[in-house]
Amino acid sequence: MNHSCGLDKISTGMIFVEGGEYLMGSENGDDDEKPVHKVMVNSFYIDKYEVTQREYEKVMGNNPSSLKNPDAPVTNVDWNAAIAYAIRVNKRLPTEAEWEYAARGGKYSKGYLYSGSKIIGDIAWYADNSGKTIHAVGAKQPNELGIFDMSGNVSEWCSDWYATYQYISQTNPMGPSYGEYRIYRGGSCLSLAFSCRISYRKLNNPNYTSPFLGFRCVMNGN
Protein backbone atom coordinates (compact mmCIF):
# COMPACT_ATOMS: atom_id res chain seq x y z
CA MET A 1 0.00 0.00 0.00
CA ASN A 2 1.53 3.29 -1.05
CA HIS A 3 1.18 6.36 1.09
CA SER A 4 2.16 9.84 0.05
CA CYS A 5 4.02 10.40 3.29
CA GLY A 6 7.16 8.53 4.19
CA LEU A 7 8.14 7.38 0.71
CA ASP A 8 11.76 7.35 1.86
CA LYS A 9 10.83 4.69 4.40
CA ILE A 10 8.80 2.70 1.89
CA SER A 11 11.78 2.66 -0.45
CA THR A 12 13.92 1.18 2.33
CA GLY A 13 11.59 -1.74 2.83
CA MET A 14 9.18 -0.39 5.43
CA ILE A 15 5.39 -0.47 5.42
CA PHE A 16 3.25 2.35 6.77
CA VAL A 17 0.78 1.19 9.43
CA GLU A 18 -1.96 3.74 10.00
CA GLY A 19 -2.75 3.97 13.70
CA GLY A 20 -6.03 2.82 15.13
CA GLU A 21 -7.88 0.86 17.75
CA TYR A 22 -8.20 -2.90 17.95
CA LEU A 23 -9.01 -5.76 20.29
CA MET A 24 -5.76 -7.34 21.46
CA GLY A 25 -5.60 -10.95 22.55
CA SER A 26 -7.92 -13.92 22.07
CA GLU A 27 -10.57 -15.70 24.10
CA ASN A 28 -9.76 -18.92 22.22
CA GLY A 29 -6.08 -19.19 23.07
CA ASP A 30 -3.87 -19.65 26.10
CA ASP A 31 -4.61 -17.98 29.42
CA ASP A 32 -2.07 -15.22 28.85
CA GLU A 33 -3.90 -14.14 25.67
CA LYS A 34 -6.85 -13.15 27.87
CA PRO A 35 -8.64 -10.94 28.57
CA VAL A 36 -9.24 -9.43 25.16
CA HIS A 37 -8.83 -5.70 25.67
CA LYS A 38 -9.03 -2.53 23.61
CA VAL A 39 -5.74 -0.99 22.50
CA MET A 40 -5.04 2.19 20.54
CA VAL A 41 -1.73 2.58 18.72
CA ASN A 42 -0.30 5.53 16.85
CA SER A 43 0.81 5.26 13.23
CA PHE A 44 4.21 3.69 12.63
CA TYR A 45 6.38 2.06 9.99
CA ILE A 46 7.36 -1.59 10.18
CA ASP A 47 9.92 -3.61 8.25
CA LYS A 48 8.28 -5.43 5.36
CA TYR A 49 10.54 -8.42 6.03
CA GLU A 50 12.35 -9.90 8.98
CA VAL A 51 15.90 -8.52 9.23
CA THR A 52 18.02 -10.72 6.97
CA GLN A 53 21.45 -12.16 7.60
CA ARG A 54 22.84 -9.94 4.84
CA GLU A 55 21.41 -6.79 6.43
CA TYR A 56 22.55 -7.73 9.91
CA GLU A 57 26.09 -8.56 8.85
CA LYS A 58 26.37 -5.31 6.89
CA VAL A 59 25.47 -3.29 9.99
CA MET A 60 26.93 -5.38 12.82
CA GLY A 61 29.89 -7.04 11.10
CA ASN A 62 28.94 -10.61 11.98
CA ASN A 63 26.31 -13.23 11.23
CA PRO A 64 25.42 -15.31 14.29
CA SER A 65 22.90 -17.50 12.43
CA SER A 66 23.58 -21.22 12.51
CA LEU A 67 21.66 -21.85 9.29
CA LYS A 68 23.49 -19.59 6.84
CA ASN A 69 21.50 -17.97 4.05
CA PRO A 70 22.00 -14.26 3.32
CA ASP A 71 18.36 -13.86 2.25
CA ALA A 72 16.91 -15.65 5.29
CA PRO A 73 16.25 -13.99 8.65
CA VAL A 74 19.16 -13.48 11.00
CA THR A 75 18.84 -15.73 14.06
CA ASN A 76 20.71 -16.55 17.26
CA VAL A 77 20.26 -12.88 18.16
CA ASP A 78 19.34 -12.14 21.76
CA TRP A 79 17.12 -9.22 22.75
CA ASN A 80 20.06 -6.95 23.51
CA ALA A 81 21.68 -7.57 20.13
CA ALA A 82 18.39 -6.90 18.37
CA ILE A 83 18.10 -3.60 20.24
CA ALA A 84 21.70 -2.72 19.31
CA TYR A 85 21.01 -3.33 15.62
CA ALA A 86 17.82 -1.27 15.73
CA ILE A 87 19.62 1.67 17.31
CA ARG A 88 22.36 1.57 14.68
CA VAL A 89 19.82 1.85 11.87
CA ASN A 90 17.81 4.55 13.69
CA LYS A 91 14.88 2.25 14.32
CA ARG A 92 13.52 0.35 17.34
CA LEU A 93 11.86 -2.94 18.18
CA PRO A 94 8.06 -2.98 17.97
CA THR A 95 6.01 -3.00 21.11
CA GLU A 96 3.96 -6.14 21.54
CA ALA A 97 0.81 -4.12 20.80
CA GLU A 98 2.31 -2.68 17.60
CA TRP A 99 3.46 -6.12 16.49
CA GLU A 100 0.00 -7.66 16.96
CA TYR A 101 -1.75 -4.71 15.29
CA ALA A 102 0.52 -4.97 12.24
CA ALA A 103 0.18 -8.76 12.12
CA ARG A 104 -3.61 -8.38 12.15
CA GLY A 105 -3.42 -6.06 9.14
CA GLY A 106 -4.07 -2.81 11.01
CA LYS A 107 -7.10 -0.94 9.66
CA TYR A 108 -7.24 -3.33 6.71
CA SER A 109 -7.61 -6.40 8.92
CA LYS A 110 -9.93 -9.12 7.65
CA GLY A 111 -9.90 -10.89 10.99
CA TYR A 112 -7.74 -13.83 9.98
CA LEU A 113 -6.40 -16.31 12.53
CA TYR A 114 -2.93 -16.05 11.01
CA SER A 115 -1.19 -12.98 9.60
CA GLY A 116 -2.80 -12.65 6.18
CA SER A 117 -4.91 -15.77 5.86
CA LYS A 118 -7.06 -18.38 7.60
CA ILE A 119 -4.97 -20.95 5.67
CA ILE A 120 -1.61 -21.05 7.36
CA GLY A 121 0.33 -22.65 4.51
CA ASP A 122 -0.36 -19.65 2.27
CA ILE A 123 1.45 -17.18 4.50
CA ALA A 124 3.82 -19.09 6.79
CA TRP A 125 6.73 -21.49 6.91
CA TYR A 126 5.80 -23.66 9.89
CA ALA A 127 6.28 -27.22 11.13
CA ASP A 128 4.21 -28.90 8.41
CA ASN A 129 5.78 -27.27 5.36
CA SER A 130 9.21 -25.84 6.27
CA GLY A 131 11.37 -28.94 6.32
CA LYS A 132 12.34 -27.69 9.80
CA THR A 133 14.55 -24.96 8.39
CA ILE A 134 14.34 -21.21 7.87
CA HIS A 135 13.68 -19.84 4.39
CA ALA A 136 14.41 -16.66 2.45
CA VAL A 137 12.13 -13.83 3.54
CA GLY A 138 9.09 -12.93 1.48
CA ALA A 139 8.51 -16.29 -0.22
CA LYS A 140 4.96 -16.69 1.10
CA GLN A 141 1.99 -14.36 0.64
CA PRO A 142 1.96 -11.09 2.63
CA ASN A 143 -0.77 -9.97 5.00
CA GLU A 144 -3.36 -7.24 4.38
CA LEU A 145 -0.72 -4.51 4.79
CA GLY A 146 1.90 -6.16 2.59
CA ILE A 147 4.01 -7.46 5.49
CA PHE A 148 5.61 -10.90 5.14
CA ASP A 149 6.29 -13.84 7.47
CA MET A 150 4.66 -12.59 10.66
CA SER A 151 3.11 -15.99 11.41
CA GLY A 152 6.08 -18.15 10.44
CA ASN A 153 9.72 -18.56 9.36
CA VAL A 154 11.24 -17.17 12.58
CA SER A 155 9.72 -15.74 15.73
CA GLU A 156 10.43 -12.05 16.41
CA TRP A 157 11.55 -10.10 19.46
CA CYS A 158 9.35 -7.28 20.75
CA SER A 159 10.48 -4.49 23.06
CA ASP A 160 8.25 -5.28 26.05
CA TRP A 161 8.86 -7.04 29.31
CA TYR A 162 6.27 -9.78 29.74
CA ALA A 163 3.16 -9.09 31.81
CA THR A 164 -0.33 -10.52 31.98
CA TYR A 165 -3.09 -8.59 30.21
CA GLN A 166 -5.54 -6.33 32.04
CA TYR A 167 -9.15 -5.48 31.23
CA ILE A 168 -8.45 -1.77 30.90
CA SER A 169 -8.25 0.01 27.56
CA GLN A 170 -4.73 1.20 26.73
CA THR A 171 -3.07 3.69 24.42
CA ASN A 172 0.38 2.84 23.03
CA PRO A 173 1.15 0.32 25.81
CA MET A 174 4.84 -0.39 26.26
CA GLY A 175 4.68 -3.13 28.87
CA PRO A 176 6.00 -2.89 32.44
CA SER A 177 9.15 -0.94 33.28
CA TYR A 178 10.97 -4.04 34.52
CA GLY A 179 10.60 -7.79 34.50
CA GLU A 180 12.30 -11.13 34.04
CA TYR A 181 11.28 -12.12 30.53
CA ARG A 182 11.03 -10.30 27.20
CA ILE A 183 8.23 -10.94 24.73
CA TYR A 184 8.68 -12.43 21.31
CA ARG A 185 5.92 -13.09 18.81
CA GLY A 186 5.01 -15.04 15.70
CA GLY A 187 5.47 -18.67 14.78
CA SER A 188 8.68 -20.17 13.45
CA CYS A 189 9.50 -22.91 10.97
CA LEU A 190 9.29 -25.39 13.87
CA SER A 191 5.94 -24.15 15.22
CA LEU A 192 2.68 -26.01 15.14
CA ALA A 193 -0.25 -24.07 13.72
CA PHE A 194 -1.62 -23.19 17.17
CA SER A 195 1.46 -21.15 18.07
CA CYS A 196 1.48 -19.36 14.69
CA ARG A 197 -1.78 -17.59 15.56
CA ILE A 198 -1.51 -13.79 15.65
CA SER A 199 -2.42 -13.53 19.34
CA TYR A 200 -0.05 -16.24 20.60
CA ARG A 201 2.54 -14.93 23.09
CA LYS A 202 6.06 -16.19 23.77
CA LEU A 203 8.57 -15.12 26.39
CA ASN A 204 12.12 -15.79 27.45
CA ASN A 205 15.16 -14.32 29.15
CA PRO A 206 16.54 -11.36 27.16
CA ASN A 207 19.83 -13.29 26.80
CA TYR A 208 18.02 -16.18 25.11
CA THR A 209 19.04 -17.09 21.55
CA SER A 210 17.61 -19.61 19.11
CA PRO A 211 18.23 -20.68 15.48
CA PHE A 212 14.53 -19.89 14.98
CA LEU A 213 14.24 -16.47 16.64
CA GLY A 214 14.97 -13.17 14.88
CA PHE A 215 13.34 -9.74 14.69
CA ARG A 216 12.10 -6.87 12.56
CA CYS A 217 12.18 -3.16 13.33
CA VAL A 218 9.77 -0.24 13.40
CA MET A 219 9.94 3.58 13.25
CA ASN A 220 7.53 6.18 14.56
CA GLY A 221 5.03 7.33 11.95
CA ASN A 222 5.16 11.06 12.57
Q: Is 7-220 a CATH 3.90.1580.10 domain?
A: yes
First vs last Cα of the chain: how many Å apart? 18
Contacts 24+ apart (CB under 8 A), 28-37: 29/197, 29/199, 29/200, 30/200, 30/201, 32/164, 32/165, 32/201, 33/165, 33/199, 33/200, 33/201, 34/165, 35/165, 35/166, 35/167, 37/165, 37/166, 37/167, 37/168, 37/169, 37/170
Report the length, in residues, of the chain.
222
Q: What are the residue boundaries of the structural domains of the chain, listed by start?
A: 7-220
Instruction: Summarize pLDDT for 166-215 with one digit per residue, the tens.
Output: 999 999 999 999 999 999 999 999 999 999 999 999 999 999 999 999 99
Instruction: Summarize pLDDT for 99-147 with one digit per residue, the tens.
Output: 999 999 999 999 999 999 999 999 999 999 999 999 999 999 999 999 9
Reported pTM: 0.95
Residues 6+ apart with CB under 8 A from 14: 6, 45, 46, 47, 48, 219
